[in-house]
């Protein structure tokens, strides 16, 4: 009996030595080296864990914390410059200029800064035009910074104007366009520019974009407000502004549009790393 009792004591002592005994105690370590920045140890038990976000039930669907801008039924999240974009079969389509009477962009009612965005688009089929007149539209973050939409399938045009381009600045890394008439997906992370109190630029806008699951822009710095046939430049503006879908007089269709506003904390860490 004495031998069994001694063995039990030894076993209990060993368990205490190798790990926590309370189910409430978070796993981790405090005796590991400090990570750069001096706030957390490697595998720190006290480091805050990520919040839980329920993903969508199907690929491309909106996660639980997303702002749904178009669900296939309503344009309540948008305001057109002139007339409403028609909805049919769960998709909205840019109306002709003959109907709208002129340029008729679609502008979100809500303003955003740093966002993750998902959007699906379809170029008209059969194509009737070429180059920049074929399936042309664009996503304008903060109504200033354009990521190009174009029918890029066997459609020669200038490199910084094809689908996946930061328009007028950076061509896409590859051409991942599908055939006209097929639905295509954009998954984008946009980081707004940062300005000092005097209006000077502290950090440019950045964009990361995947077209049809293929990386086309990799944390690419943007030159400034998109301007046709001119070099983009920055002018100070508010921290949040609407997202705009461009009317370029081509019947491009859209569906399943949502965004996730990103927290300032993650971007602040990047600013700290940049020494800003």
Give the residue among 197, 188, 97 at the shortest CA–CA distance from 139: 188
Report the SS3 class of residue 271.
helix
Residue carrying the six token digits 């506003």: 261
CA distance 5 to 107: 75
- Give the mean pLDDT of the chain: 90
- The 10s digit of each residue's pLDDT in 174-211 is 999 999 999 999 999 999 999 999 999 999 999 999 99
- The 10s digit of each residue's pLDDT in 68-96 is 999 999 999 999 999 999 999 999 999 99
Mean pLDDT for 162-173 is 98
User: For residue 27, how many other CB atoms are within 10 A of its CB?
Assistant: 8
* 148 secondary structure, DSSP code: E
Give the residue among 173, 98, 178 at the shortest CA–CA distance from 135: 178
Q: Is 60 exceeded by the pLDDT of residue 4?
A: no
Q: Is 50 exceeded by the pLDDT of residue 131?
A: yes
Strands annotated E in the chain: 67-70, 78-80, 87-88, 91-93, 106-112, 115-122, 137-141, 145-149, 184-191, 194-195, 201-203, 206-211, 214-221, 241-245, 253-261
- The 10s digit of each residue's pLDDT in 14-25 is 444 444 444 567
Q: Is 70 exceeded by the pLDDT of residue 66?
A: yes
Task: Kindly list the structural domains of the chain, giving each domain's residue range(s) and its CATH number in brackets, ordered by start.
Answer: 67-98+108-261 (2.60.120.560)
Report the SS3 class of residue 12.
helix
> Would you say 115 and 257 are in contact if contact means Cβ atoms under 8 Å apart?
no
The DSSP H or E segment spanning 272 is: helix 264-273
CA distance 66 to 214: 22
Report pTM: 0.85
Mean pLDDT for 148-157 is 97
Mean pLDDT for 253-266 is 89
pLDDT bracket for residue 1 (50, 70, 90): very low
């Amino acid at each position: 009996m004495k031998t069994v009792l001694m063995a039990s004591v030894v076993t209990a002592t060993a368990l205490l030595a190798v790990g926590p005994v309370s189910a409430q105690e978070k796993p981790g370590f405090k005796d590991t080296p400090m990570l750069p920045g001096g706030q957390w140890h490697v595998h720190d038990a006290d480091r805050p864990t990520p919040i839980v976000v329920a993903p969508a039930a199907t690929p491309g669907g909106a996660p639980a914390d997303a702002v749904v801008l178009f669900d296939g039924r309503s344009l309540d999240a948008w305001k057109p410059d002139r007339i409403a974009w028609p909805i049919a079969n769960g998709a909205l389509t840019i109306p002709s200029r003959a109907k709208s009477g002129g340029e008729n962009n679609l502008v979100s009612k809500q303003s955003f800064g740093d966002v993750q965005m998902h959007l699906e688009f379809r170029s008209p089929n059969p194509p009737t035009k070429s180059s920049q007149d074929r399936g042309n539209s664009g996503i304008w973050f903060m109504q200033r910074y354009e990521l190009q939409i174009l029918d890029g399938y066997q459609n020669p045009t200038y490199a910084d104007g094809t689908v996946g381009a930061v328009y007028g600045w950076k061509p896409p890394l590859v051409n991942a366009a599908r055939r006209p008439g097929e639905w295509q997906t954009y998954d984008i992370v946009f980081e707004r520019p940062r300005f000092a109190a005097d209006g000077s630029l502290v950090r440019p806008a950045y964009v990361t974009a995947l077209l049809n699951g293929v990386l086309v822009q990799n944390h690419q710095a943007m030159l400034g407000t998109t301007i046709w046939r001119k070099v983009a430049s920055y002018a100070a503006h508010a921290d949040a502004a609407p997202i705009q879908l461009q009317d370029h007089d081509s019947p491009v269709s859209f569906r399943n549009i949502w965004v996730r506003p990103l927290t300032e904390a993650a971007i602040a860490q990047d600013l700290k790393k940049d020494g800003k």
